[in-house]
Homo-oligomer: A and B are copies of this chain.
Amino acid sequence: MLIPEGFLFSGISCGIKEENKIDLGLIFSSEKLTVWGMFTTNTVKAVPVVLSRKFIKEEQIHGVVANSGIANACTGEEGFKRALTLLKKIAEKLNISYKNLLPASTGVIGEQLPLEKILPHIDTLISNLSNQNYIQFAKAIMTTDTFPKVVFRKTEEGIIILGIAKGAGMIAPNMATMLAFILTDARVSKDYLKKQFPKIVEQSFNRISVDGDISTNDAVYMLCSNLKEVKNWKNFNKLCLEVAKELAYLIIKDGEGASKIIKIIIKGAKTKKDAKIFATSVANSLLVKTAFYGEDPNWGRIFSALGKNGIKFNPEEIEIYLNGIPWIANLKPVKDENKIKEEMKKNEIELLIKFKQGKLSYEILTTDLTEEYIKINAHYRT
């Protein structure tokens, strides 16, 4: 099995979520880990985000305590008190300081952690620790996710990189209601992580969008147990990025109510910023997303979305390709639209939009928008 050495996992049910679903998870290393993290840009930051940001800079880290069901956001002083109580109870049993554990939560905003339900299960949480229980941990962070998200890679030197994430709804570029943990047994310095990890996140978790909303609880971590020497750094970085991109892809694949994954590629923009704005405008346009859902080659909506931010371009210069097939050039369909319509029925779609303003490009993954998204979000408390 591809489990990085030095990590133990656990995931149990405390009754925070209904139907005895697994809702409390622990990752633990008896030796201190090298860790870095990136967090939501939302002004309203959940309690675990505030605490983790602090601990990660100042303290030795030995693991993660994560729960789903309750976000512990907008919970004021009482929210901090409860999070710290939970951390202290677990840390005590593990013989470490509570500041050695990074808290992470996801779920409903504005409600308090039900400690009366959680605390009686802490002994079980710890006694279940095992290097095999990573799936239980992955389940412990699921909310509207329909499957646990776990990805592995192994380098030639035998270094393992394991990624675990949750996502599904409220996903926007800049990491919205998303938790992701990339664990490796490589020896990595904190300075290296600080420099390298943001690059990985920028190319993976910040390139996905389900609904343009940004959560209070996003956090993405890399945790290294330092047990194996990296020889080929280039390959190691490449595999870390692969793990992050694959997790991001799984989050989009499990996007709330989504029936299709759409990769939007902008090429030929004047600046990187323009390329990003074009890609994001198309990715977040409800009219584009519903057109894809309806399998309707309504390319006018793409042009309308490209123009909505007022960046100047000549629409006649734009070329659009769908799954590699020329679709639009000079403001006209290149071929019979039925071919494109046929292609739109696929579950994975690549939409390439070529400008002639420069050489810069940007890529983003998005989903279509379906009645199911509305149902999930009108009737489920996230």
Contact = CB atoms under 8 A, between A and B. Distances in A.
Given A286-B213, A303-B110, A371-B371, A76 B316 contact: yes
B307 A42 contact: yes
A128 interface: no
Copies of chain A in the complex: 2
A133 to B, nearest CB: 30
B377 A286 contact: yes
B378 A290 contact: yes
A42 B76 contact: no
Nearest to A300: B109
Interface in A323-382: 330-332, 369-371, 373-375, 377-379, 381-382
A314 to B, nearest CB: 9
B306 A44 contact: yes
Interface string A282-318: 0011110011011010111101111111111101100
Given A286-B377, A303-B74, A43 B313 contact: yes
A41 B310 CA distance: 6
A91 interface: no
A377 B287 contact: yes
A73 B307 CA distance: 12
A170 B290 CA distance: 12
B286 A212 contact: yes
- Mostly helix, strand, loop or mixed at chain A's interface? loop
A374 B371 contact: yes
A369 B172 CA distance: 18
A83 interface: no
Contact of A315 (B44, B215, B305): B44
Contacts of A262: none
A108 interface: yes
Contact of A287 (B110, B170, B375): B170
A214 B286 CA distance: 11
A211 interface: yes
A225 interface: no
A77 B42 CA distance: 45
B299 A211 contact: no
A287 B373 CA distance: 10
A75 interface: yes
26 contacts: A43-B306, A44-B304, A44-B306, A73-B303, A76-B316, A76-B331, A110-B303, A169-B287, A170-B287, A172-B308, A211-B286, A212-B286, A213-B304, A213-B305, A214-B304, A215-B304, A216-B300, A216-B304, A216-B307, A286-B373, A290-B373, A291-B378, A294-B377, A298-B382, A369-B374, A371-B375
Q: 9 tightest CB-CB pairs across the interface, nearest first?
A: A109-B300, A294-B378, A44-B307, A43-B307, A290-B377, A371-B371, A110-B300, A42-B307, A214-B308
